[in-house]
Amino acid sequence: MRKPTRAREIALKTLYQIDLREEIDESGVTDLLAQEEMAADVRVHARTLVDGVRARQEEIDREIQDAAENWDLHRMPTIDRNVLRLGVYEIGWVDEVPPKVAINEAIELAKRYGSAESGAFVNGILDKIVSRRSV
């Protein structure tokens, strides 16, 4: 597995745990990341993704909610919600990742960890967000 893909996977697992537990501080995030075996550069990238999503979560969640017609953010499956958060963060704030790459990586994470419908669900919402941003 490529290092950026591995970092996204670890970031997703971490965001999932944070979402379930809600009140996790910085040392808690460090502890969650320490549970996974990874190279130092992968750990740094995963931490950057987690910190970026957490820092902008309110804005990211609003954007997801606006694009997810007829879906309440908190009723979405936890995995799908966090895949979307990660994808929106990369689309909006990680310049070196083209939107198509961010979408494709998010779809693959959703397929791997979500339900049979997760890939299409994530694709639809992220496509809508990218379309709105390019107007």
State the SS3 of 51-76: HHHHHCHHHHHHHHHHHCCCCCHHHC
Question: Tell me, what CATH number does 22's domain have?
Answer: 1.10.940.10
- What's the pLDDT score for residue 59? 97
Q: Look at residue 85 in the predicted model and tell me its pLDDT.
A: 98
Q: Cα(80)–Cα(82) distance, rounded to whole angstroms? A: 5
Q: What is the mean pLDDT of residues 105-133?
A: 96
Question: What would the pLDDT profile of 30-69 be if each residue is shown by its tens digit?
Answer: 778 788 787 889 889 999 999 999 999 999 999 999 999 8
CA distances from 3 to 18, 29, 42, 51 (A): 22, 20, 6, 18
Question: Which pLDDT score is estimated for 24?
Answer: 77
Tokens of 131: 């379309």
Enclosing domain of residue 94: 3-133
Structural domain count, the chain = 1
